[in-house]
Structure formats: C-alpha cells, structure tokens
Amino acid sequence: MISARERRAASLFRRSLSWQLGVVVAALAMALLPMPRGMVEVVYAGGFYPLVRDIITAVSRLVDLALFDVLLVAGSFLVVSWWVWRLSAASGGSRRATVAGLFAGTLVAAAALYLVFLATWGLNYRREALASRLEYDAAAINAERLEVLTASAISELNRLFDTTTDLRWPQLDDLPERLGPAFERVQRQLGGVRPASSVRPRRSLLTPYFRRAGIDGMIDPFFLQVLVNDTVLPFERPFVTAHEWAHLAGFAHEAEANFVGWLVCLDGDQAMQYSGWMFLVPRLLGALPEEVQRWLEAQLADGPRADYAALRARLSRVVPVVQQSARRLNDQYLRANRVTSGVASYGEVVQLVLGTKLGRSQWPASSLAVP
C-alpha cells in the first residue's frame, strides 16, 4: 500500500517532470516556429523589450563589474560541480541513469536560458528589417554611386584627420557623455518612441579572448551591458561603442547595427565622425573593382593611412585558429537566430548606406574626381 508521503512525492515528481518538459517544448517551439515580424515589431520591440531593457540597465548601471563574466564563470562552475557531485555519489549500477538525468537536467537548464535570452534581447532578431522602414531603393545601389560615395568618404576622412590632430580621444568611460546624446537623437530619427539611453562600456575578463579572436566588442544579451575589447585603438572606440549601443537599442542584425553606429558617429563631434568614416571606408573600398579600389586608396592622406596601418598591426596579433573558431561560432549563432547570411551580414551595411534615403543624406560633398 502506497503511503500519503509516497503519493505526495510521486505527485511532485510528475509536476516537476511536466514543468521541465514544458520548458524544453517551449524552447523548441520558439526556436523552430515562425513568428510574424510585424507582431514582434509591435508587441516585443515596441512594448515589452523597451520596458525590460530600461529595468535591466537601471540595475546593471549600479554594478561596476561585467555581469556576463559572473554568469559565465558562476554558471560553468555550478554545472561542472553539479555533474562531479552527482557522478561521485552514484553507485556503479546507477551511474548510467545518473548520466541520463544529468543530460536531461542540463538540457532543461539550457532551454530555460534560451527562453530568457529571447525575452531579454534575442527576439530583436525577428523584427522587421530596418530597410523596410527607411524607403530602401535597390536601384540606388550601383557602381557609379558607390565610387562617388567612397571618394567623398575618403575626402571627408582626410579633412577630419586634420581637425582632430590636437584633440584628446575619449576613453571608454567618457563616451556616454560625449556620444550619448547623438545616440538618442539617431534613435528618434529612426522612429524610436522610447529610445535607449547610452550605457558605459565595460571591460571584460574575456578581453584576452577578444584580442586573440579579433573581436572588438559585444552586447551582453542577459544583463544588457556593453563589453568592449579595451585594446581597440582610440579612434576605433567611438564606432565600436556606438555599434554595441545600436544592439542595445534593439537593432540585432549586424548590418543594421553598423549602419546605426555610423549614423551615431556622424551625428557627433568631429572626432566621432572620423571614427565613423574610418569604419566605413574599408567596407566601401572592398565593394569596388580592384583598379578603382587602388586608385581611391592612393587618395588617402598620410594621417588616415597611418591609422589604418596601426589598425592592421593590432589585428595582426590575433591567433588565426582562435579567430577562425570564433568566426565559425558567430556564423552559426547568427544563422541560428535567422540571419541567413551569417557573418557576411556585417558587410551588408553598404547596402543601407547606398540604398536608403537616410544613408545617402549623410554623404559629404566629394572633392575627388573619380575616373
């Protein structure tokens, strides 16, 4: 005869099993089933996410350390400790059942973490494309316009270098005050009714990995802190930070974050503008035929040319095997979040710069004659 205590234990076990199965099924459904982008745009991006973002960032601002580091270290320690404890306590006959239970428990934990990721930031990947809201015109993208823009951008880069020679480049901690107002203005220009406030970039325990993998920064999708590789050069800091702020504002697609980061820099002072054009010029050159590319590269003044050499020297210190592994991991992550072009999406910023009216309105007057 089953006692009342045993019945309660069985009932608790069934409820626990149902809850765990529900978490895994919910995660699989969210990962595999399509969601209407219009619904995500209105319900999540326009309502739920800004509310959650403001609450999380209000709390994370009070903490000096990078909370993603804590999550990574503590989470890894707890999972490993749990496995070691359970396996060491299991007898020989029950070890197989223990391993199966550990795999099941780890799967449930991973599913729960994925659902949290979607709620706190990840569903931004399923928003409507920014281009659809910016009068995107594919016909505006052609070789002639690309050459004109690249020539104008190089001319602007040369001019801005001369104006920033005697300026002090901001530290990471200075950027919210220096570039934050431009970040909010650009969000309103893009139709944001509840723009995100800038946050102070954090230095992470992951910096040694960032340095070896060639990663400039990332957005923590759980605590919404911006982590920046503190070895990026002074003229890179504004754009790298603005790019990650764009992710914070809900622009998950890398091309959109690059575009928004560029707009933010161009809305700032001359040093910020220089950082924005330093980012964009190589992407523009890379989309041109080699002959035109070489001609335009020759128009770079000594100052920007030296800065690009310093940038190449920094990137030469990456470890190829680490960089390739990080690139593959990032590509898989982006594709899993329905960015079909994977890491190639970073370079698609040129399409937004050329194909949108807002992008073309940023063009400086060209002082170069393109052959």
Q: What is the pLDDT of residues 167-223, one digit of tens each?
A: 789 999 999 999 999 999 999 999 877 899 999 999 999 999 999 999 999 999 999
- Structure confidence at residue 369 (pLDDT): 44
The residue-averaged pLDDT of 114-128 equals: 96
Q: Quote the CA–CA distance of 371 and 355 in Å, as a whole number.
A: 23
Note whether residue 236 is domain-resident: yes
Q: What are the tokens at 42?
A: 């209105």
Where does the pLDDT of residue 368 fall: very low under 50, low under 70, confident under 90, or very high at 90 and above? Answer: very low
- Structure confidence at residue 324 (pLDDT): 85
The listed range with the strongest mean pLDDT (84-88, 146-150, 240-244, 330-334) is 240-244
- Structure confidence at residue 104 (pLDDT): 87
- Structure confidence at residue 254 (pLDDT): 93
At residue 20, does pLDDT exceed 60?
yes
Of 218, 181, 215, 180, the C-alpha closest to 199 is: 180
Same domain, 138 and 242: yes
Q: Which domain holds residue 302?
A: 134-360
Q: Quote the CA–CA distance of 227 and 240 in Å, as a whole number.
A: 10
Q: What are phi and psi of 82, to 5 degrees?
A: -60, -45
Note whether residue 371 is domain-resident: no
Note whether residue 367 is domain-resident: no
Count: domains in the chain: 2
At residue 116, does pLDDT exceed 90?
yes
At residue 10, does pLDDT exceed 60?
no
Note whether residue 366 is domain-resident: no
Same domain, 159 and 198: yes
Same domain, 179 and 274: yes
- According to DSSP, the residues that pair with 202 across neighbouring strands are 227
Instruction: Answer yes or no: are the C-beta atoms of 186 and 264 closer than 8 Å.
Output: yes
At residue 241, does pLDDT exceed 80?
yes
Where does the pLDDT of residue 343 fall: very low under 50, low under 70, confident under 90, or very high at 90 and above? Answer: low
pLDDT in tens, 29-77: 999 999 999 999 999 999 999 999 999 999 999 998 899 999 999 999 9
Q: For the chain, what is the mean pLDDT?
A: 88
- Structure confidence at residue 260 (pLDDT): 97
For tokens 């890379």, the residue is 286
Same domain, 56 and 157: no
Note whether residue 51 is domain-resident: yes
The residue-averaged pLDDT of 250-274 equals: 96
Q: Quote the CA–CA distance of 184 and 180 in Å, as a whole number.
A: 7
Q: Quote the CA–CA distance of 91 and 295 in Å, as a whole number.
A: 73
Instruction: Answer yes or no: are the C-beta atoms of 47 and 123 closer than 8 Å.
Output: no
Note whether residue 369 is domain-resident: no
- Structure confidence at residue 225 (pLDDT): 96
Instruction: Answer yes or no: are the C-beta atoms of 237 and 169 closer than 8 Å.
Output: yes
Same domain, 168 and 295: yes
At residue 94, does pLDDT exceed 60?
yes
- Structure confidence at residue 370 (pLDDT): 45
Higher pLDDT, 324 or 44: 44
Note whether residue 370 is domain-resident: no
Query: Which ranges in the chain belong to alpha helices (H)?
Result: 4-32, 37-39, 49-60, 67-89, 95-120, 143-164, 175-189, 207-213, 237-248, 254-266, 270-286, 290-297, 302-315, 320-336, 349-355, 357-360
Examine the fold and report which residue of 87, 102, 126 is the final residue of a domain before the chain moves on: 126
Same domain, 287 and 150: yes
Examine the fold and report which residue of 126, 156, 174 is the final residue of a domain before the chain moves on: 126
- Structure confidence at residue 73 (pLDDT): 92
At residue 333, does pLDDT exceed 80?
no
Higher pLDDT, 93 or 120: 120
Same domain, 68 and 158: no
The residue-averaged pLDDT of 243-253 equals: 96
Where does the pLDDT of residue 365 fall: very low under 50, low under 70, confident under 90, or very high at 90 and above? Answer: low
At residue 9, does pLDDT exceed 60?
no
Same domain, 342 and 228: yes
Examine the fold and report which residue of 102, 126, 150 is the final residue of a domain before the chain moves on: 126
Of 170, 188, 298, the C-alpha closest to 234 is: 170
Same domain, 63 and 39: yes
Residue type, 245: W
What contacts 54, CB < 8 A, 6 or more positions away? 194, 196
The residue-averaged pLDDT of 297-324 equals: 92
Same domain, 247 and 105: no
Same domain, 85 and 146: no
